[in-house]
Structure 1
Amino acid sequence: MTESILLVEQRGPVRVLTFNRPQQRNALNSALIDTLRAELAAADADEQTSVVILTGSDPAFCAGLDLQELGSGGNTLLKVEDESIPVGHPWVPLSKPIIGAINGAAITGGLELALACDILIASERARFADTHARVGVLPGWGLTSRLPAAVGRGFARRMSLSGNFVDAEEALRAGLVTEVVEHDALMNAALALAETIAGNDQPGVRTLLASYRRAEEHVVDPALQAEKQTSRAWLETFTPDRVADRRADVIGRGRAQNA
């Protein structure tokens, strides 16, 4: 029996979604993107679920888009550009909080998934990098808005233009994550926070979360539209061969930095 590429576990009022392509470092192929979006929608519709935790099967959280599928002409980028998903989002935004439990490397598209969560907790093994510039693909899930909002303009540009990795402690200092814990304590820490949130008045939690989002709209929405326009224009000249040519170099350089 084939094991699921996304594990789903209900822990009381908390639903845990775990990327499960460990041999591929949980890289996002078309099937995983579709499955993730469907399971998040299901969690949002389930009245017994108050909080979602998103994490990965070790050793990585998510290595971003599957470069092998993308380089071979796969339709991963079409999944990124799904017209049914609001501009600048990897999934339809949930009415419930999402906690990202970052257990390892969160790279490029994986970093964008982390940024789309409401709260991030990191294992000491967590690493973050934006390698769009290395691969020759532009962000389309809101990175150019959410990353500077989290870590500041200069630090965000440094990450994006260099492609270098940021470790867990540096991510904490920059404000990208709210807490760093020992690796084996990560899920317990995420569950403890999720259960605290779930123990509050749920209409109040969801209304407050919606209020935070509305308060950000005047800044976030124009930035997401600008990113979309840039990404769409870039895709008009994009060819999968560009990724295929750079794939080995990108992977090797990333492994050297993340060693």
Structure 2
Amino acid sequence: MKFQNLLLEKTDGVAVVTLNRPDAMNALSKALRSELHKVMVALDKDDDVSVVILTGAGERAFTAGLDLKELGSDPKAMSAANATGADENPVKAIECCSKPVIGAINGVAITGGFELALACDVLIASENARFADTHARVGIMPGWGLSQKLSRLIGLYRAKELSLTGNFLDAATARDWGLVNRIVPAAELLPTARKLAADMATIPVETLSLYKSIIDDGYAKSFGKAMNLEQERSTANNRKVTPAAVEARRAAIQARGRSQ
């Protein structure tokens, strides 16, 4: 597949998708959002891919969010902030992929870019990474989930501080607040993300997708309903697992443990 606004590389079960508009801080133009949707749908169907890494070109930006120049020149473009279709809403585009998506945050993730980062399943941040919610400063309210996700991830008061000031959050504080999994030097960002993706890719993709869905769907429910969801899906899955399959997996786990 060839794209004008992103790069795609596939190796050993891992796909790396790079937002490729570095001169525009990888801003999410309409064309880029459309291509992101197409690639995520394709990767979800690709039997040779188990894990996806999402990153940005260059060291300045993961993505600066919606392309403000595009918004300022086309009155109809403003509807993108509240788009529900996956071809225009990049968060929905990421959600089209049932496989794990690792966000390799190489630079700033601003406003819609912040929302895109939060759509990923795991976040690895470069030391250059910074996060900012500038919706209020631009005069646009978030429509891709930031106002609800952020408080659930870092707490109500911290989320309000970020969203009601528009101030930047540096990588170290983002890690301390539990927003990112870890920080690495810029040169080690993709190698670290690839290593993590390779670890995930040793697990059958059907198992990865099922476990991801249990976590995500349960997180959106109350604790009691989430426990019921786990029981329901766990029971349905575990009934199909044979003793022979468990023994084969156990041997593989032991061999992996000895090699680490």
TM over 0.5: yes
Bigger Cα displacement from structure 2, 69-78 vs 20-29 = 69-78
Which residue in the other structure is 1:176 paired with? Answer: 179
- Asked whether 1:77 is paired with 2:85, we answer no
Classify 1:10/1:153 alpha carbon distance in 2 versus 1 (closer, same or farther; 3 Å). same
Where do 1:19-98 residues align within 5 Å? 19-58=19-58, 59-73=60-74, 75-85=76-86, 89-91=91-93, 92-98=95-101
Larger Rg: 2
Where do 1:131-170 residues align within 5 Å? 131-170=134-173
Give distance in 1, aligned partners of 2:45 and 2:81.
Answer: 23
Q: TM-score, normalised by structure 2?
A: 0.79
Question: Contact 2:133–2:163 (CA<8 Å) still a contact in 1?
Answer: yes
Q: What's the CA shift string for 1:71-129, capped at 9, x where partnerless?
A: 11254433444443499943243210100000000000000000000000000000100
Question: Contact 2:37–2:90 (CA<8 Å) still a contact in 1?
Answer: no
Unaligned runs of 5+ in 2: 223-260
Question: Contact 2:84–2:92 (CA<8 Å) still a contact in 1?
Answer: no
Unaligned runs of 5+ in 1: 220-259
Question: Contact 2:64–2:109 (CA<8 Å) still a contact in 1?
Answer: yes
Shift of residue 150, structure 1, vs aligned partner: 1.6
Question: Contact 2:83–2:143 (CA<8 Å) still a contact in 1?
Answer: no
Aligned counterpart for 2:113 among listed residues 110, 115, 127: 110
Classify 1:202/1:38 alpha carbon distance in 2 versus 1 (closer, same or farther; 3 Å). same
Classify 1:74/1:97 alpha carbon distance in 2 versus 1 (closer, same or farther; 3 Å). farther
Classify 1:134/1:190 alpha carbon distance in 2 versus 1 (closer, same or farther; 3 Å). same
- Matched residue type, 1:195: A
- Asked whether 1:101 is paired with 2:90, we answer no
Give distance in 2, aligned partners of 1:25 and 1:66.
Answer: 9
Larger relative contact order (Cα-Cα within 8 Å, sequence gap ≥ 6): 1
Which runs of 4 or more aligned residues in structure 1 lie more than 3 Å from their structure 2 counterparts after TM superposition?
A: 74-90
Which residue in the other structure is 2:255 paired with? Answer: none
- Asked whether 1:197 is paired with 2:192, we answer no
Q: CA RMSD, aligned part only?
A: 2.2
Number of matched pairs? 219
- Matched residue type, 1:68: K
